[in-house]
Amino acid sequence: MTLYPLKFKPILKERLWGGTKLKDVLGKSIESNITGESWELSGVDGDISEVANGDLKGLSLQTLIAQEGAKLLGENVVERFGKDFPILIKFIDAKQDLSIQLHPNDELAKERHNSFGKTEMWYVMDADPGAKLIVGFNKDVDKEEYVKSLENDTLLELMNYEEVAEGDTFFINTGKIHAIGAGVLLAEIQQTSDITYRVFDFNRRDKNGNLRELHTDLALDAIDYTKKDDFKVDYAHQSDEVNQMVDCPYFKTNFLHLTENLQQDVSQRDSFTIYMCVGGEAEIRNESGNVSIQKGETVLVAASSQSIEILTQGAKLLEVTI
């Protein structure tokens, strides 16, 4: 099988809080006015990505993994994760505030849900003036104070708000309470997991008039109640260089602001490489082929690639590996 750079069909998700920026800003083919998420690359059961380009068009990501294994993923990745694709890649448009939520760590997720935990990062692509994120508490709290705030409907008074602009990047480790605010369009990189504990949803109702399910009890032992300032990612923005953003056990992400072509020797990488285009356009090449990429698109390059060439006159890319 020839593993050229692969694009996948977006898996579009309507959400109560979704809007139209995935269509208006990123050019997704969407009719709904409440599409909140575009899953770009997914191995989540029931939402497996499907190849959209070239001779392999129509094959599922799981079929590719079953047939190619380490050639696609990398020996190290297969040793750690088997035939499960370990990363979920999304673009998210929040027209309204998302629910305040958190994610369990690997141990809790395995015990309760037979799943990975959910460590994630956000790269802000577009933000309305004054748009904010909620990340963590604004002071140290304990479980009793937290529970009391839920009972008294005062949780928002304990939240830490961060006003955001394009390029701002946040690392959300497990246990950290958080929410994407209205007016924010972002790229999300996360462990393959769909386990979320929703703790507050602004008392709003869905289209059928129902309040959405909360996971108050499950969240109590999963929350980090301490105030921390470890979430904002300070990274270099050097043009035509590989700028490290995040290096954690679950993924590594670099920022590429390219004004000219870039060639990389990846023969020792032992991991697939994902490119999320967050600005401009480019062409991604390996030994087996090439594909174009523009803002709002994602490409997967196989671990068997010896080199990757990016041809561009101007692009901003998030480069993701294991």
**Which amino acid, residue 148?**
K
Structure tokens at 143: 């479980």
CA distance readout (Å), 251 to 128, 190, 272: 29, 8, 11
Domains and CATH numbers, the chain: 11-220 (2.60.120.10), 243-321 (2.60.120.10)
Distance from C-alpha of 70 to C-alpha of 254, rounded to nearest angstrom: 22
Each residue of 56-110: pLDDT tens digit? 999 999 999 999 999 999 999 999 999 999 999 999 999 999 999 999 998 999 9
- For residue 24, what is the enclosing H or E element? helix 21-24
Each residue of 210-263: pLDDT tens digit? 888 899 999 999 999 999 999 999 999 999 999 999 999 999 999 999 999 999
Q: What was the pLDDT predicted at 23?
A: 97
- Total Cβ atoms within 10 A of residue 242: 12
Through-space distance between the first and last CA atoms of the chain, rounded to whole angstroms: 23
Provide φ and ψ at 247, rounded to 5°: -135, 95
From 214, 196, 310, 303, select the one nearest 256 (Cα to Cα): 310
Q: What was the pLDDT predicted at 26?
A: 97
Catalytic residues: 198
**pLDDT category of residue 205 using cuts at 50, 70 and 90:** confident
From 190, 136, 172, 322, select the one nearest 247 (Cα to Cα): 322
